[in-house]
């Protein structure tokens, strides 16, 4: 089984990767933070991914998928699914992270320093299409959609839910990673 964390940018995919690693699933990733990202953090005084990004370079993902990822967790950004060829012989389980649109946009601006939100706004609106495409893969045995804000508010509940869906994790250890102080951009309704 390949365990995948997916979603669009700024939806808590790095937090989820870190939690699943802490919960006991071996992970595959190339980078923590790029030098450019670290310089931006130093300049602006804002670190959006305190513990790292836990991402695999696209070239590494294409080389390793699917045969070299069995029994590991990997982050696959939702747009990356289109380029993945081959079928995972033991299946794929996906946790797809969602986040309130306003929070995503605010986090994106802080993360990139850009005021351009149009592309992110459009991407947010088509997440359901990505989820459907992922579900249509014959090797995907389950997609669990989680709302970032809800995971931050009740982490143990959601990691116990993943464990009930046969994700091989220690739910308490996974939940210990979630820090609501990092959730800077909340939408209050």
3-state DSSP call for residue 30? coil
Least Cα distance to 157 among 166, 168, 146 occurs for: 146
> Residue 132: what pLDDT?
93
End-to-end CA distance of the chain: give it in Å, rounded: 39
Residue numbers of the chain with a pLDDT score lower than 70 = 31-52, 104, 107-124, 181-189
> Residue 52: what pLDDT?
64
> Residue 33: what pLDDT?
44
Least Cα distance to 175 among 150, 163, 157 occurs for: 157
Compute the distance between CA of residue 162 and CA of residue 58 in angstroms, rounded to an integer: 26
CB 185 within 8 A of CB 101: no
> Residue 112: what pLDDT?
63
Give me the residue label for tokens 């993360």: 111
Burial 139-160, CB ≥16 within 10 A → b, else e: ebbebeebebbebbeebeebbb
> Residue 158: what pLDDT?
98
- Domain 2-177: give its CATH architecture: 3-Layer(aba) Sandwich (3.40)
> Residue 56: what pLDDT?
80
> Residue 78: what pLDDT?
87
pTM for this entry? 0.81
3-state DSSP call for residue 105? helix
């Amino acid at each position: 089984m390949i365990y995948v964390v997916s979603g669009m940018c700024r939806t808590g995919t790095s937090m989820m990767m870190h939690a699943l690693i802490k919960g006991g699933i071996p992970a595959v990733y190339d980078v923590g933070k790029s030098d450019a990202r670290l310089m931006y953090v130093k300049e602006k005084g804002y670190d959006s991914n305190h513990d790292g990004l836990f991402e695999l370079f696209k070239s590494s993902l294409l080389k390793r998928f699917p045969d070299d990822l069995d029994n590991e967790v990997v982050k696959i950004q939702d747009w990356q699914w289109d380029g993945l060829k081959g079928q995972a012989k033991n299946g794929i389980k996906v946790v797809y992270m969602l986040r309130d649109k306003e929070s995503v946009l605010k986090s994106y601006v802080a993360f990139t320093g850009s005021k351009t939100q149009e592309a992110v706004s459009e991407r947010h609106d088509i997440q359901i299409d990505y989820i459907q495409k992922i579900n249509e893969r014959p090797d995907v045995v389950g997609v669990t959609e989680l709302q970032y804000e809800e995971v931050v508010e009740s982490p143990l509940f959601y990691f116990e839910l993943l464990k009930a869906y046969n994700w091989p994790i220690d739910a308490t250890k996974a939940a210990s990673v979630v820090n609501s102080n990092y959730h800077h951009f909340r939408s209050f309704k």
